[in-house]
Amino acid sequence: MKRKGLLLALFSALLVLLTGCNQLAVLNPKGPVAKTQSQVIIFSILTMAFILLVVYTLYIYMLTKYRASKAAPDYEPPHVEGSKWLEITWITIPIIIVAVLSVVTVRSTSAVEKVPEGYEDQKPLVIYAASSNWKWHFSYPEEGIETVNYVNFPTNRPIEFRLYSFGSITSFWIPQLAGQKYAMSDMVNTLNIVAEHEGSYMGKNSNFSGEGFAHMEFEALAMTPSKYDEWVKEVKDTASELTEPEFDKLLETAHVGRQTYTSTHLAFRPAPEGENAGHNHGGENGAVEESGQTEMDHSTMDHSDMDMTESSDHEAHN
Question: pLDDT in tens for each of the 318 residues of the chain?
Answer: 455 555 555 655 555 444 444 568 889 999 999 999 999 999 999 999 999 999 999 999 988 887 777 667 777 777 777 888 889 998 999 999 999 999 999 999 999 999 999 999 999 999 999 999 899 999 999 999 999 999 999 999 999 999 999 989 999 999 999 999 999 999 999 999 999 999 999 999 999 988 888 889 999 999 999 999 999 999 999 999 999 999 999 999 988 999 999 999 999 999 998 766 654 444 433 333 333 333 333 333 343 343 433 333 443 343
Cβ-contact 194, 210 below 8 angstroms: no
CB neighbours of residue 118 within 10 Å = 11
Helix (H) or strand (E) holding 252: helix 244-252
Asked if residues 151 and 184 have their Cβ atoms less than 8 Å apart, the reply is: no
Could you tell me if 241 and 263 are in contact, meaning their C-beta atoms sit under 8 angstroms apart? yes
Q: Which residues contact 117 (CB under 8 A, 6 or more apart)?
A: 32, 111
d(CA 146, CA 250): 13
Could you give the CA distance from residue 114 to residue 46 in angstroms, rounded to a whole number? 27
Q: Could you give the maximum distance between any two Cα atoms of the chain, in Å?
A: 95
Half-sphere exposure of residue 251, counting CA atoms within 13 Å on the CB side?
A: 24
| Residues 6+ away with beta carbon under 8 Å from 310 | none
